[in-house]
């Protein structure tokens, strides 16, 4: 997975099968992560995503079960969004 301020990830949720848990609020139609370059105040957003063809998710079965509710992750998409603020050195 490559994280980038130019990255974006959009996934429709309305057409998804019912999740194992309540992953999304009722009425939510899509999940959208959008990266943003560093602004004048030092704020930034980086986004990355991976699909099974991009990367194999390697984790202990206990962690897979905790995160995803299953241990066979053949069709899992994984996305990350991180926001932060850069501060000037003292």
What's the pLDDT tens digit per position in 21-46? 666 777 777 888 999 999 999 999 99
Q: Is residue 79 part of a domain?
A: yes
Domain of residue 54 covers 8-85
Q: Is residue 68 part of a domain?
A: yes
Taking the model in full, what pTM does it have?
0.59
Q: Is residue 34 part of a domain?
A: yes
Q: Is residue 3 part of a domain?
A: no
Provide the domain count of the chain. 1
Q: Is residue 41 part of a domain?
A: yes
Q: Is residue 2 part of a domain?
A: no
How many angstroms separate the CA atoms of 42 and 65, rounded? Answer: 37
Is residue 54 scored above 60 in pLDDT?
A: no
Q: Is residue 69 part of a domain?
A: yes
Torsion of CA 79, 33, 48, 45, to 10 degrees: -130
Calculate ∠ Cα 28-33-38, nearest 5°: 145
**Alpha-helical regions (H) of 1-90:** 61-68
């Amino acid at each position: 997975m490559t994280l980038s301020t130019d990255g974006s990830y959009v996934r429709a949720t309305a057409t998804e099968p019912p999740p194992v848990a309540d992953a999304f609020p009722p009425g939510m139609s899509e999940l959208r992560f959008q990266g943003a370059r560093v602004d004048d105040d030092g704020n930034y957003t980086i986004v990355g995503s991976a699909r099974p063809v991009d990367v194999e998710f390697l984790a202990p079965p206990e962690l897979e079960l905790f995160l995803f509710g299953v241990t066979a992750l053949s069709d899992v998409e994984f996305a990350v969004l991180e926001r932060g603020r850069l501060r000037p050195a003292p």
